[in-house]
């Protein structure tokens, strides 16, 4: 006699096979999606920016995994979505991820959302996607809102090439060091920053990158949306009057051809940091790419700094004897 096929975990099945959501008072049916993990982009501010496909998916899946259930519930309540919300964030991921993977193995359809924007962009989720793929589960991306692309589109800066940095280091020295590395990239830069650090970061940007054109984008798509466009030097001069409440995306235009050559001091600092952990060859290759200076010049300077470091280390060891 033929064995019965293994059944899907019925605890995840909705009471009815068709769920619904509501848009402008109109009730729309949402059939259950095929099993798999759905990466659903959600609004970065204005809840009207959700796509119809995203609503249908959120209404139809068995579970919505989200950073903060309170924030996601505002969205599901707005569109009358009856969904099972489960928290998935940096602090509980190690415990929550195996459970979600078990549900996927049993044939569940799960949506992953961040608090705002596209999942995995400076948000948790990478390990879940990687392990879901490794286990043979289907993974679907539902494109939609992104604060990176939103800010880039309104900054009035070149968009043919851009580099997304995410959040800069919180500590001043580390932040300044990273900005010096970013200064050599021949592309528009996009960075996230928090309100309590944005003034200092704008000043650091001006000190390191000079007169480049830039834009400070605050509270994108929200009621108090604001975009300030000027040179970094001008933005730094008015930083003390900058409204710091809200979420910020900083967009900095690419360097001019003249500005792409790193100063000698910046080159030395970059080489010293890289030589602490890399070989001379690797440090030079990185510095040539970042600085815009000739390889022969960078290599010669790297050897000088390496020799200086060795002499200082030897002197320190001698002084301790």
Confidence (pLDDT) at 59 = 97
The distance of Cα 94 from the centroid of its chain, to the nearest Å, equals: 20
The pTM of this model reads 0.75
For 35, 45, 61, 62, 234, the CA distances from 81, given in Å and listed in that order, are 19, 19, 11, 12, 47
For 188-239, write each residue's pLDDT tens digit.
999 999 999 999 999 999 988 988 999 999 999 999 999 999 999 999 999 9
Kindly tell me if the per-residue pLDDT of 10 is higher than 90: no
For 50-80, write each residue's pLDDT tens digit.
999 999 999 999 999 999 999 999 999 999 9
CA angle 305, 201, 154 (to 5 degrees): 120
Kindly tell me if the per-residue pLDDT of 105 is higher than 80: yes
């Amino acid at each position: 006699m033929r064995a019965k096929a293994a059944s899907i975990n019925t605890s995840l099945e909705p009471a009815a096979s068709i769920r619904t959501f509501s848009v402008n008072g109109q009730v729309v049916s949402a059939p259950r999606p095929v099993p798999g993990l759905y990466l659903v982009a959600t609004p970065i501010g204005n809840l009207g920016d959700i796509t119809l496909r995203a609503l249908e998916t959120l209404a139809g899946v068995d579970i919505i995994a989200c950073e903060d259930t309170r924030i996601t519930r505002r969205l599901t309540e707005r569109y009358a979505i009856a969904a099972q919300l489960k928290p998935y964030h940096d602090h509980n991921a190690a415990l929550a991820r195996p459970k979600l993977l078990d549900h996927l193995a049993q044939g569940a359809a799960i949506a992953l959302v961040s608090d705002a924007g596209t999942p995995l962009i400076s948000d948790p989720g990478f390990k879940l996607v990687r392990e879901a793929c490794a286990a043979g589960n289907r993974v679907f991306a539902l494109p939609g809102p992104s604060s990176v692309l939103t800010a880039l589109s309104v900054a009035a800066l070149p968009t043919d090439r851009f580099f997304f940095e995410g959040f800069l280091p919180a500590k001043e020295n580390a932040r300044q060091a990273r900005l010096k590395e970013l200064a050599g990239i021949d592309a528009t830069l996009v960075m996230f920053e928090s309100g309590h650090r944005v003034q200092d970061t704008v000043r650091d940007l001006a000190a390191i990158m000079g007169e480049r054109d830039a834009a400070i984008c605050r509270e994108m798509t929200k009621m108090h949306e604001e975009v300030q466009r000027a040179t970094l030097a001008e933005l730094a001069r008015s930083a003390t009057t900058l409204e710091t409440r809200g979420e910020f995306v900083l967009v900095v235009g690419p360097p001019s051809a003249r500005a792409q050559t790193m100063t000698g001091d910046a080159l030395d600092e970059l080489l010293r940091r890289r030589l602490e952990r890399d070989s001379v060859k690797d440090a030079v290759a990185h510095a040539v790419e970042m600085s815009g200076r000739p390889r022969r010049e960078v290599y010669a300077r790297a050897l000088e700094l390496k020799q200086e470091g060795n002499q200082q280390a030897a002197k320190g060891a001698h002084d301790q004897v």
